[in-house]
A and B are shown apart, each in its own frame.
Chain A
Amino acid sequence: LAKTTQPISMDSYEGQEVNITCSHNNIATNDYITWYQQFPSQGPRFIIQGYKTKVTNEVASLFIPADRKSSTLSLPRVSLSDTAVYYCLAQLNFGNEKLTFGTGTRLTIIP
């Protein structure tokens, strides 16, 4: 069962780019990396998913280097509303639904 490791917390100022790194040493070739965002008293919300190189959507970018032992979620020009907990999820096999969330990274945006 793949495990992920993330920093417990991060602080950043408004307007900056924030990069959150996730370590996943046992990822297989077709495993997906998925990031979720969670605000207090709400369920997690899907942000982005990828399995190699770089994926970008309107919210974030996801970088996965060639060795696939880590990935980085990049949030451009953060605002106060980006303050949340961010979870990195490594899915072992396509079809294996025994997913494990890490403890997440608590991101605090400072005015």
Chain B
Amino acid sequence: DVKVTQSSRYLVKRTGEKVFLECVQDMDHENMFWYRQDPGLGLRLIYFSYDVKMKEKGDIPEGYSVSREKKERFSLILESASTNQTSMYLCASSPLQGREQYFGPGTRLTVT
């Protein structure tokens, strides 16, 4: 079975802190994604990557950056956390372009 793991299930940070959310997949997938999920807004794509060191902006990249130094790991970085970044963050991976995505359990981030 494909396994996508995220470094934390729950995280509380203060405004202005730098936050790292880590995601690891164990199935040698080329593509990895970061989404955030908020009530009433569904899932929104922040960034995605289709290869090591490659990244593409999604629909809401402002305030975020990403890093993919190794194929299995995709990190989401909040350079200076703000309260409007309080959300559920979901990481996903997929083996081929256009194919189904496999999601991690999510990280619920609270910025106070």
Chain B: interface residue count, which band?
20 to 34
The reply on B102 being an interface residue by CB < 8 A is yes
Are B101 and A46 touching (Cβ within 8 A)?
yes
In whole angstroms, what is the CA distance A100 to B41 when docked? Answer: 11
B19 at interface, CB cutoff 8 A: no
* B102 proximity list for chain A (CB < 8 A): 46
Minimal Cβ-Cβ distance residue in A for B90: A43
A103-B41 in contact given A45-B103, A46-B100, A94-B97 (Cβ < 8 Å): yes
For the complex, count residues of A whose C-beta is within 8 A of B.
23
* Cα of A46 to Cα of B90 in the assembled complex, Å: 14
Please report whether the interface of chain A is mostly helix, strand, loop or mixed according to DSSP.
loop
With a CB–CB cut-off of 8 A, which chain A residues contact B45? 98-101
Residue of B nearest to A92 (CB): B98
A79 to B10, CA, bound (A): 30
Q: Give which listed residue, A93, A94, A101, contacts B42 with CB less than 8 A.
A: A101
Residues of B within 8 A of A91 (CB): 98
> Contact: A98 with B48, CB < 8 Å?
yes
Asked if B62 is an interface residue, CB under 8 A from chain A, the answer is: no
Distance of A105 Cα from B86 Cα, bound (Å): 23
Partner of B97, one of A87, A97, A102: A97
A-B contact pairs, 9 of them (CB 8 A): A42-B106, A44-B43, A46-B102, A49-B99, A49-B100, A93-B98, A95-B97, A97-B48, A99-B33
B binding-site residues for A, Cβ under 8 Å: 4, 31, 33, 35, 40-45, 48, 50, 56, 58-59, 90, 92, 97-106
Give me the interface of A with B, judged by CB distance under 8 Å: 32, 34, 41-46, 49, 87, 91, 93-104
